[in-house]
Amino acid sequence: MDIYLGLGSNLGDRESNLRQALAKLPPAITIDAVSPVYETEPKYLENQPRFLNLACKGQTEMSPRETLNFIKKIEKNLGRVETERFGPRIIDIDLLFYGKEEIKEPGLTVPHQGIAERAFVLVPLSDIAPDFAHPVLGITIKELLGKLGDKSK
State yes or no: is 92 an active-site residue: yes
Helix (H) or strand (E) run with residue 70 in it: helix 64-77
State the catalytic residue, choosing from 14, 50, 94, 118. 94
Identify each DSSP E strand in 10-123 by its residue range: 29-34, 38-40, 51-60, 92-98, 103-105, 108-110
State yes or no: is 89 an active-site residue: yes
State yes or no: is 94 an active-site residue: yes
- The DSSP call for residue 54 is E
SS3 label, residue 141:
helix
Comparing CA positions, the residue from 122, 130, 69, 127 lying closest to residue 96 is: 122
State the catalytic residue, choosing from 2, 13, 19, 80. 80
State the catalytic residue, choosing from 2, 65, 92, 118. 92
CA distance 12 to 31: 24
CA distance 93 to 4: 10
State the catalytic residue, choosing from 89, 118, 131, 150. 89
Active site residues: 80, 89, 92, 94
